[in-house]
Amino acid sequence: MSQRRPLVAANWKMNGTLASLRPLLASVCKGIANGVKAEVAICPPYVYLGEVGRLLEQTGIALGAQNLARQDAGAYTGEIAAAMLKDYHCRYVIVGHSERRTLYGETDTVVAEKFVRAVGNELKPILCIGEYLEEREAGDTENVLARQLDTVIEKAGIAAFADAVIAYEPVWAIGTGRTATPEQAEEVHAFIRLRLARHDDKIADQLRILYGGSVKAANAKELFNMADIDGGLIGGASLQADEFLAICRAA
Ligand code: PGA
């Protein structure tokens, strides 16, 4: 099995203002300097990318965006293109978060188009996939994940996954305080890896698959100890420096 360096990515979502985010970031940067082995990324709201990017210089922490447009440029008021994120030195971009899918109507096809744009602009997509509670209860988890994944593989090609990260985020676990058990998560992560291995063994083996959904300091270690869980995508807990640092240390 290949050595996959764990990644812990903070998804700040639409939280905070400069007044609260500056001290949060200062504490995180200070804490990361002491013995965190995982790769760490921060995904602030678009308008703070410049400021956060400056503060992250020389820290080894990567910058990421939470979304991008599926077009390259043009009359798309309010949208942000991949090339613009590249200008701000983003390394990562979250693609297809369940909040984008549910609240903003992003279909599997739209998500796949965004993934293609990201990779085409040398941004590493963090592709989010996950099932609703009803789907899990109906025994449909694997079908849903296969559909979400296959649409992207079809559009982007398997080679594009060499520069991607996948985040498994069961929708019922996001922001609810209800986490998947390590065994439930591992089962799905192994399924995702196998699905990719059908196309390319090596890429599947090297790909980092993060877990997301109510990860906190108290449950991070047992999740990250599972064979196919290579870090986490952290929402709520990334807004508290101590919690987030503890999660980074657990990875
Ligand atoms: P949460 O969010 O950690 O607050 O559950 C995770 C995410 O939405 O990426």
Pairing of strands 62-65, 208-212: unpaired
Tokens of 161: 């996954």
167 SS3 class: strand
Question: Does residue 231 have its Cβ closer than 6 Å to ligand 1?
Answer: no
- Ligand 1 atom 7, closest CA: 235
Give me ligand 1 centre to Cα 131, in Å: 14
Known active-site residue 97? yes
Ligand 1 atom nearest the C-alpha of 213 is: 5
Q: What pTM was estimated for this model as a whole?
A: 0.97
Known active-site residue 169? yes
Per the CB < 8 A criterion, the answer to whether 230 and 209 are in contact is yes
Q: Report pLDDT digits (tens) over 198-246.
A: 999 999 999 999 999 999 999 999 999 999 999 999 999 999 999 999 9
Ligand 1 atom nearest the C-alpha of 234 is: 3
Q: Report pLDDT digits (tens) over 130-168.
A: 999 999 999 999 999 999 999 999 999 999 999 999 999
Question: Does residue 220 have its Cβ closer than 6 Å to ligand 1?
Answer: no
Residue with tokens 């995982």: 38
Per the CB < 8 A criterion, the answer to whether 97 and 165 are in contact is no
pLDDT of 48 over the 70 cut:
yes
By percentage, how much of the chain surpasses pLDDT 70? 99
Q: Whole-angstrom Cα distance, residue 120 to residue 131?
A: 27
Q: Whole-angstrom Cα distance, residue 88 to residue 166?
A: 23
User: Which pLDDT value is given to residue 71?
Assistant: 98
- The model's confidence at residue 2, banded by pLDDT at 50, 70 and 90, is low
- The model's confidence at residue 99, banded by pLDDT at 50, 70 and 90, is very high
Distance in angstroms between the alpha carbons of the first and the last residue of the chain: 18
Per the CB < 8 A criterion, the answer to whether 166 and 129 are in contact is yes
Question: Does residue 238 have its Cβ closer than 6 Å to ligand 1?
Answer: no
Q: Which amino acid is at 140?
A: D
pLDDT of 1 over the 60 cut:
no
pLDDT of 87 over the 80 cut:
yes
Average the pLDDT over each of 101-105, 173-177, 229-233 and give the range with the smallest value: 173-177
Give me ligand 1 centre to Cα 155, in Å: 27
Q: Whole-angstrom Cα distance, residue 64 to residue 58?
A: 16
- In whole numbers, what is the pLDDT of the chain averaged over residues? 96
For residues 171-189, average pLDDT: 93
- The model's confidence at residue 70, banded by pLDDT at 50, 70 and 90, is very high
| Chain-centroid distance, C-alpha 19 | 25
- The model's confidence at residue 33, banded by pLDDT at 50, 70 and 90, is confident
Residue to mutate (ligand 1; options 15, 98, 214; most atoms within 8 A of CB): 214
**b/e string for 175-192 if b means 16 or more Cβ within 10 A?**
eeeebbebeebbebbebb
Tokens of 189: 């992560």
Question: Does residue 94 have its Cβ closer than 6 Å to ligand 1?
Answer: no
Ligand 1 atom nearest the C-alpha of 94 is: 9
User: Which pLDDT value is given to residue 223?
Assistant: 97
For every residue of 124-172, DSSP letters joined together read EEEEEE---HHHHHTT-HHHHHHHHHHHHHHHH-GGGGGG-EEEE--GG
- The model's confidence at residue 35, banded by pLDDT at 50, 70 and 90, is confident
Q: Whole-angstrom Cα distance, residue 165 to residue 3?
A: 15
